[in-house]
């Protein structure tokens, strides 16, 4: 029995941190990856843990062994069912709905986190103080210490294994289901060992257990228009034919790449614009930060004057996905894929005293703009590796928002004079569009005039998340 108690403690810790990592990852496509959303999710889960420890300790007082076991089984069963039937089914709907209703970034994430995660974490966390009453011995401090030791080791592995192993092998959705499977398995194990039989009132535990297994080993329902779909540590990615002539890649629900199936070339106007500028200037050595479907590097690799194209992206799977499912061709040997975060790549390039004839930034898709690539330090480092910068930026078409002006102020301070062109020319008021921005004075591009009423974004201080929320 002692072994089972320590296993329960270990796996309770594992699932709690695993759920925390999954929660942060599931929120990313909607609210972005940033310190605000992460800190709120962490705070809510820690609050649920602390309250669970308190109530669990209170409920264990003067209770017989069977009553405590039944309480643990009940908590684990409800927690596993909550995750399986509610949290990870309605999470995107709940967060999106509350964002629309409240129109407040902080409050929306806070309320959503409470609704989705507080109850199951609160219930599961009661396991530790309840288990302490099942261990033999009179030294309460020693018992609690051992249980917290195994729980914390489980938490460590839960955070590491989820992001490095589960996401890449199971995907985000099945990783969430695995936690329901673990919790229901623990409940069933305790039922069988303690009561020798499964009572009818534990039927929900069995349902969660069996359904979790079927979801994990089962194949997803296939949409005939979807060629490939995955959900890993970095984003949700879908390769899809939107009509008989066009294929696109969605990253976190935003258009990341698109090709005409007849020509094999991109129909995105900003890709066409940047490609033309690279051709006009006959750059030989080019870096492209942001891979997506490799459309731009694939097309410019056909230019005879191009000698080398370094493509940088944090997701190492993109090259094989593009070759197999999107472009359906082997990329040119001129293309060198560098699987690194953008800031890490920039620093390494600076340290190596390496220079490029031109650098293209194409890492901004939909509402999920990485804050670390929008600060002064990022643009200053960018200037150190090339004098010729081309950036695809998605923002409001009138450039009137705080985000647009602070970003352009930041770019100007980091890169020098900034020139821009709206490649889509949408007529709607406040529509979001693609701008090609550059530090080069190009005919047909407008020069940005600094807005002295607004500041800039730095690594140390910025309001990127809040400003982006205002132009959703």
pLDDT of 431 strictly over 80: no
98-122 burial by CB neighbour count: b if 16+ within 10 A, else e? bbeeeeebeebbbbbbebbbbbbbb
DSSP secondary structure string, 119-166? HHHHHHHTHHHHHHTTSSSS-HHHHHHHHHHHHHHHHHHHHHHIIIII
Give me the pLDDT at residue 221, please.
Answer: 66
- What's the whole-number mean pLDDT along residues 322-350? 96
Supply the pLDDT for residue 9: 94
Q: How confident is the model at residue 203 (pLDDT cuts 50, 70, 90)?
A: confident
Extract the tokens encoding 73.
């089984």
Residue 282 and residue 305 in contact, taking contact as beta carbons nearer than 8 Å: yes
pLDDT in tens, 11-44: 999 999 999 999 999 998 888 777 889 999 999 9
Which token pair is 323?
């070759």
Give how far Cα 322 sits from Cα of 258, 263, 298, 337, Å.
11, 16, 10, 12
More confident residue, 61 or 345: 345
pLDDT at 200: 65
The H or E element containing residue 170 is none
**208-246, pLDDT tens digit by residue?**
999 999 989 887 666 778 999 988 888 889 999 999 999
Of 36-50, 387-401, 419-433, minimum mean pLDDT range: 419-433
pLDDT of residue 86: 96
- Packing angle between helix 35-59 and helix 105-113, nearest 10 degrees? 30
Does 137 score more than 70 pLDDT?
Answer: no
DSSP string, 198-262: --GGGHHHHHHHHHHHHHHHSPPPPPTTEEEEEE-SS-EEEEEESSSSEEEEEETTEEEEEEETT
In the prediction, which pLDDT does 407 show? 95
Check residue 34 and give its pLDDT: 79
Structural domains in the chain, sorted by start = 2-217 (1.20.1250), 226-470 (3.40.50.150)
Res 201: pLDDT: 62
CA angle, 381 then 387 then 389, to 5°: 75
Report the range of poorest mean pLDDT among 80-84, 96-100, 118-122, 380-384.
Answer: 96-100
Residue 427 has pLDDT above 80, yes or no: no
State both tokens at 168: 């890449």
Where residue 138 falls among pLDDT bands split at 50, 70, 90? Answer: low
d(CA 130, CA 187): 14
Classify burial at 403, counting beta carbons within 10 Å of its beta carbon; exposed 0-12, middle 13-18, buried 19 or more.
buried
List, for residues 158-188, the tens digit of each pLDDT value: 999 999 999 988 999 999 999 999 999 999 9
Strand-by-strand arrangement of the 254-260 sheet = 226-231, 236-241, 246-251, 254-260
Closest CA to 16 of 183, 149, 191, 170: 183
User: Where residue 367 falls among pLDDT bands split at 50, 70, 90?
Assistant: low
Report, as an integer, the average pLDDT of 125-154: 86
């Amino acid at each position: 029995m002692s072994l089972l108690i320590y296993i329960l403690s270990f796996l309770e810790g594992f699932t709690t941190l695993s759920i925390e990592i999954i929660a942060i990852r599931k929120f990313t496509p909607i609210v972005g990856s940033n310190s605000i959303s992460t800190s709120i999710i962490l705070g809510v889960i820690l609050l649920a843990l602390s309250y669970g420890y308190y109530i669990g300790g209170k409920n264990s007082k003067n209770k017989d062994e069977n009553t405590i076991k039944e309480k643990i089984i009940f908590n684990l069963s409800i927690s596993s069912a909550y995750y399986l039937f509610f949290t990870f089914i309605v999470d995107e709907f709940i967060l999106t709905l509350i964002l629309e209703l409240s129109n407040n970034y902080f409050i929306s994430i806070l309320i959503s986190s409470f609704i989705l995660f507080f109850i199951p974490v609160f219930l599961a966390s009661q396991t530790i103080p309840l288990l302490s009453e099942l261990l033999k011995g009179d030294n309460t401090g020693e018992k609690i210490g051992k249980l917290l030791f195994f729980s914390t080791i489980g938490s460590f592995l839960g955070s590491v294994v989820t992001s490095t192993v589960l996401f890449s092998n199971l995907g985000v959705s099945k990783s969430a289901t695995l936690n329901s499977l673990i919790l229901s398995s623990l409940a069933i194990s305790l039922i069988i060992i303690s009561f020798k039989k499964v009572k009818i009132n534990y039927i929900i535990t069995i349902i969660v257990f069996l359904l979790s297994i079927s979801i994990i080993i089962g194949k997803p329902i296939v949409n005939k228009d979807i060629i490939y779909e995955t959900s890993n540590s970095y984003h949700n990615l879908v390769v899809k034919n939107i009509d008989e002539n066009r294929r696109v890649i969605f990253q976190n629900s935003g258009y990341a790449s698109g090709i005409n199936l007849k020509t094999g070339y991109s129909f995105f106007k900003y890709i066409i614009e940047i490609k033309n500028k690279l051709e006009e200037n006959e750059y030989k050595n080019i870096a492209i930060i942001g891979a997506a479907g490799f459309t731009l590097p694939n097309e410019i690799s056909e230019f005879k004057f191009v000698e080398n194209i370094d493509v940088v992206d944090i997701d190492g799977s993109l090259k094989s996905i593009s070759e197999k499912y999107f472009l359906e061709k082997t990329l040119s040997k001129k293309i060198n894929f560098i699987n690194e975060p953008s800031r890490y790549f920039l620093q390494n390039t600076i340290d190596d005293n390496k220079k490029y004839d031109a650098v293209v930034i194409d890492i901004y898709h939909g509402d999920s703009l990485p804050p670390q690539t929008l600060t002064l330090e990022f643009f200053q480092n960018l200037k150190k590796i090339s004098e010729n910068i081309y950036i695809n930026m998605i923002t409001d078409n009138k450039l009137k928002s705080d985000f647009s002006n602070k970003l352009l102020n930041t770019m100007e301070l980091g890169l020098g004079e900034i020139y821009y062109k709206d490649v889509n020319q949408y007529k709607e008021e406040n529509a979001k569009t693609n701008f090609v921005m550059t530090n080069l004075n190009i005919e047909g591009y407008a020069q940005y005039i600094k807005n002295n009423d607004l500041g800039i974004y730095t690594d140390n201080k910025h309001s990127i998340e809040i400003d982006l929320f205002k132009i959703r």
